[in-house]
Structure 1
């Protein structure tokens, strides 16, 4: 927990691929449900690789956060990780503010990528699962 309990931060490191997917899903689920913080932050500063399985797990965690009334963010996506998010089009789903990253210890100007609105007024609606 950071920022006086207003945020829960999940700091990811190393290579995140299919082998890390299930554990990442569990950690994101716990981060969403095991606290009352209104914001979920995923810090990718020490992440060296991110594949589609990990991206899917992060997006699922963000959907859970939205459903729980939390605001999800990704911070510090850099190098290969940022490139993967950009090339896959995932980066386009996020906006950036330096203030949140600085508040979380990322320093001024570090990339912060919050998930867009809940779909009623932006592209995040494409991330929502349709009920059948």
Structure 2
């Protein structure tokens, strides 16, 4: 079995005022469906007014992952949440600039206030939505 090539971690931060998806690794076609589902869940199963996608550890985004990202962030806005991309760097930032995604979602190089490391906001555990397995149980391992 080969190790995962991407990871999606969802946390509530800043006292529950932000729901954050932390993406890491290579987000390509293999990540598309899980990313789309995680974004949908983050938009609809909590009362946080802000959805933040943290790309600090993202190494690669392809067009399918960008499509899922756009779809999910637009769904968050439709659900009444502000949506923001943070920590896009290097080639990931370049891809997001070329595609216009940075302009759409106000991406910044820095984290939101709640994403600051030590001394930052307390991370709250997520509750699994009724009738659905928790996010950790849905993680897909690529073999």
Give yes or no for TM over 0.5. Answer: yes
| Aligned with residue 60 of structure 2, among 49, 56, 67 | 49
Tell me the CA shift for residue 93 of structure 1. Answer: 2.4
Matching residue of 1:92: 103
Matching residue of 1:36: 47
Matching residue of 2:128: none
How many residues align? The count is 107
Tell me the CA shift for residue 99 of structure 1. Answer: 7.7
Which protein is richer in helix relative to its size? 1
Point out the more displaced range, 38-47 or 94-103.
94-103
TM-score by length of 2: 0.68
CA distance in 2, matches of 1:21, 1:66: 19
| Aligned with residue 66 of structure 1, among 53, 57, 77 | 77
Q: Gapped runs of 5+ residues in structure 1?
A: 107-132
Higher relative contact order, chain-length normalized (CA < 8 Å, sep 6+): 2
| Aligned with residue 3 of structure 1, among 6, 11, 14 | 14
CA distance in 2, matches of 1:98, 1:15: 19
Change (3 A) 1:82 1:21: same
Tell me the CA shift for residue 62 of structure 1. Answer: 1.0
Give the match's secondary structure for 1:11: strand
What CA deviation, in whole Å up to 9, does each residue of 1:4-28 have, x standing for no partner? 0000000000000111100100111
CA distance in 1, matches of 2:25, 2:108: 25
| Aligned with residue 23 of structure 2, among 12, 26, 42 | 12
Matching residue of 2:7: none
Point out the more displaced range, 56-65 or 95-104.
95-104
